[in-house]
Structure 1
Amino acid sequence: MNISRITAGAVTVLVLLSMVACRREKGGVAAAESAAMPQVSVIALHSQPVPLTGELPGRVVASLEAEVRPQVGGIIQKRLFTEGGEVRAGQALYRIDPAPYRAAYDNAVAALQKAQAGVPGAEAKADRDRDLVAQNAISRQDYEDAVDTLAQNRASVASARAAVETAKINLDYTIIAAPISGRIDKSSLTPGALVTASQTTALTTIHQIDPVNVDLTQSSTSLLNLRQAISAGRIKASGTSISVSLRLENGTVYPLAGRLEFAESNVATATGTYTLRATFPNPDRLLLPGMYVRAIIEEGTAQHAFLIPQRAVSRNERGEATALFVRHGRVDQRVLSADRSVGNAWLVESGVSEGDQVIVEGSQMVREGDAVSPVNVSLDAAGDVTDQAPAAGKQGGAAAKSSSTGVPDNEAGRG
């Protein structure tokens, strides 16, 4: 009887010990599996309206440009402006020897006075002959001759007056004035040089550079893609007034914004591009004609788009853009329709959903289908991780500050 009880107790103890050992073994396996599961950093994607800009190459062009040429011939007596300085419209630039033109003007004035002197006598004779022909004292022919003489004298006066005006114009042209306001170039001739009317060689050139124009070139393919996206409703156009900003040759941004004025209605057959023109204020004369710039144009807004940092995107063997996501605790690789960059991120309008978790760090240690432990992170402007928080472990889990509030300006390639 005692032996049976002892045997039953021993069996019970052995069963309990086996259960405890089994539980410990299972816990150890689970802990080992959890410890072996790689940890990856993820951000949650959220759709948002994204302003779209295009960067186009261009050249600065003066808004007005005038070549200065003489309109009468003669010897240049004096240059009246400072080379490279600012001039006003109507300001005197050169003085040509006026002596021959002043003499011609005086001669024309004298000829006018002579013509005017013959008019009163002709008028009096015509009046007398009108009374006499009414009394049949003279012939009708004599009266008509007197009327003709008066008309000729009056025509001579009009011709002489026109000659005076011409002589006055030529005399005024001996002072060569600025046709527009702006910055003037160097003079091609010095005092003492002989010039002729409407010569091919310009004396100097004036450029109006406030405001200044910027001529831009864009491919016709980009224009077609933009218009098709607007027609499909993926992009909302910026409107009629389009703002433009400039990036200068040294990489700095021009502080004043401009506006797009017009686009040409034809495409260049040789290059497949068309020209746009923007206008910028230039009070400090920082922009000079011929300067190379890059213009940033507001094209519109993608209403429901996702921004994926370039560090999370790579290319497969077919050249397609791909990214790794965490779905139900496992790695999921997807091909993205990322054909446009916004800053240092790719704009994606399809292939992803709200709350999808994209891997931004640790992608080199995992492959598609691997079980991973995701950690939500935030990225600063340099692309560095600023904070971490354990992820919910499933798609759509709560994320820390995600890229929906800002796009990191980091280089392409996965972390």
Structure 2
Amino acid sequence: MTLFSISGKTSFRLSAIAVASVLALSACSKGEQQQQQGAPELVVSVLTVKAEDTTISTELPGRLESFRSAEVRPQVSGIIKRRLFQEGSYVQAGQALYQLDDASYSAGLASARAQLAAAEAAQAKANADLARYQPLVAADAISKQEYDAAVAAQRSAVANVNAARAAIRSAQVNVNHARITAPISGYIGRSNVSEGALLTAGGATVLATIQQTNPMYVNVTQSAMDVMKLRRQIAEGQMSAVNGAVEVTIILEDGSEYPQKGRLLFTDPTVNETTGQVSLRVEVPNDDNILLPGLYVRVRLPQAQANSAYLIPQRAVTRGAKNTVVIVAPDGSMRQQEVTIAGQSGNNWIITSGLKDGDKVAMDGTMIAGMMGAQKVKTQEWQASQPQQSAAPAAPAKPNSASAPAQSSAAASAPAAQSASQAK
């Protein structure tokens, strides 16, 4: 018994559907193959490294300090009559700053001068008496005792004159100190006292402060551990000491570099027991008075010379427990390489081990680290001025003749599908 039969019309319909399906699948397969063949290829910016001798510098925090600073204090007691300077102005050494009431000191000076006159008169009388006694004692007209008394009186008169002259000088000093002057040249700050204030000699009151600001000092501290590590590397020959005067760069709070270079004056030979820091002092010119005492700055200080090191932009190095870079091999494969960082030079890390001449270091190593092993890449030499974009797709491949059959097959499937629809 026949369960079912297929008529000629139905058979034609099924054949048309089958042909259309085969053509559609063929077109999809060729389209996917074309898409895979035309996938964009990654282009990675690389830096071809070469060893060079490099100065290792370190940036240390510091505070600016005036070259010389003097606190103005009274040397005699008295009441301030006048302030003779403008706050914030530049004053010369010896310039009058305050005038005290000197009436009592002037009177003391006059008294000392009067005492000198009396002493000089007594000395004149003693000299005359001694002159008269000399021939008398020779003729035994007077006793030797009387002559000795005349000699002693004359010497006492001379001493009294000297004492009176010293009293005049002392009184004159008091009068002079009643006019308080600048001990050094420099910029004077605000006055801490005003007219009418009573000053006491040797008191704790600071009347004003004068500071010389050209040149300036920068007081810097560095970890004793870093200093010892650097000295050990120099002793082992890994680095060499910087010869000659050390030129120092000052970095201001806004990140800009101060136009004038400083010089290292000294490094303290002892370590602070509390902080474990070593103190350094830098001198820097301040011709335009841009730098101010107390200002926070950073100091870029050359400390050693690294022999056969590599300068690698910071963006190419992945920092962590281990510092790594991405190396691109000649065949386009990528691998991570551990490196040793010895210091910093501008925006570059100084690499002393882990690289060799000719290695191609990928820029933005952190960004492309996840691509390693996934595919091979092309390289282009990195330029410092180019934007930070190291991995970019290459231009897609142009359509070739292989794509034409796929398009023809897809086009051919349309009439077949239409015929099948009409057959229904």
What TM-score do you get using the length of structure 2 for normalisation?
0.77
- Count of residue pairs brought into register by the alignment: 355
- Equivalent positions of 1:6-405 (< 5 A) are 39-314=43-318, 319-329=321-331, 330-360=333-363, 363-364=368-369, 366-367=371-372, 372-381=376-385, 384=388
Kindly tell me: are residues 382 and 35 of structure 1, through their superposed partners in 2, closer, same or farther at Cα, counting changes over 3 Å?
A: closer
Q: Does the 8 Å CA contact 1:38/1:366 hold for their aligned counterparts?
A: no
Task: State the distance in 1 between where 2:337 and 2:287 align.
Answer: 51
**Deviations for 1:235-259, whole angstroms, at most 9, x for unmatched residues?**
3322242111211112222121111
Q: CA RMSD in A?
A: 2.6
* Letter aligned with residue 355 of structure 2: V
Task: State the distance in 2 between where 1:335 and 1:153 align.
Answer: 94
State the structure with more CA Rg: 2
**Deviations for 1:352-380, whole angstroms, at most 9, x for unmatched residues?**
21111222368346436x77344231222
* Letter aligned with residue 255 of structure 2: G
Deviation at 1:314, TM superposition (A): 2.2
Kindly tell me: are residues 188 and 289 of structure 1, through their superposed partners in 2, closer, same or farther at Cα, counting changes over 3 Å?
A: same
SS at match of 2:341: coil
What TM-score do you get using the length of structure 1 for normalisation?
0.79
Kindly tell me: are residues 106 and 131 of structure 1, through their superposed partners in 2, closer, same or farther at Cα, counting changes over 3 Å?
A: same
* Letter aligned with residue 257 of structure 1: K
* Letter aligned with residue 178 of structure 2: T
Task: State the distance in 1 between where 2:344 and 2:285 align.
Answer: 29
Task: State the distance in 1 between where 2:248 and 2:138 align.
Answer: 83
* Letter aligned with residue 213 of structure 1: Y
Task: State the distance in 1 between where 2:94 and 2:170 align.
Answer: 20
* Letter aligned with residue 367 of structure 1: M
Task: State the distance in 2 between where 1:354 and 1:360 align.
Answer: 17
Kindly tell me: are residues 166 and 194 of structure 1, through their superposed partners in 2, closer, same or farther at Cα, counting changes over 3 Å?
A: same
* Letter aligned with residue 62 of structure 2: G
Deviation at 1:324, TM superposition (A): 2.4
* Letter aligned with residue 368 of structure 2: S
Q: Does the 8 Å CA contact 2:188/2:209 hold for their aligned counterparts?
A: yes
Structure 2 stretches lacking a partner, 5+ long = 1-32, 395-424
Greater relative contact order (Cα < 8 A, sep 6+)? 2
Q: Does the 8 Å CA contact 1:338/1:348 hold for their aligned counterparts?
A: yes
Q: Does the 8 Å CA contact 1:378/1:385 hold for their aligned counterparts?
A: no
Deviation at 1:327, TM superposition (A): 3.6
* Letter aligned with residue 42 of structure 1: V
Task: State the distance in 2 between where 1:273 and 1:363 align.
Answer: 40
* Letter aligned with residue 59 of structure 2: E
State the percentage of identical aligned residues: 38
SS at match of 2:50: coil
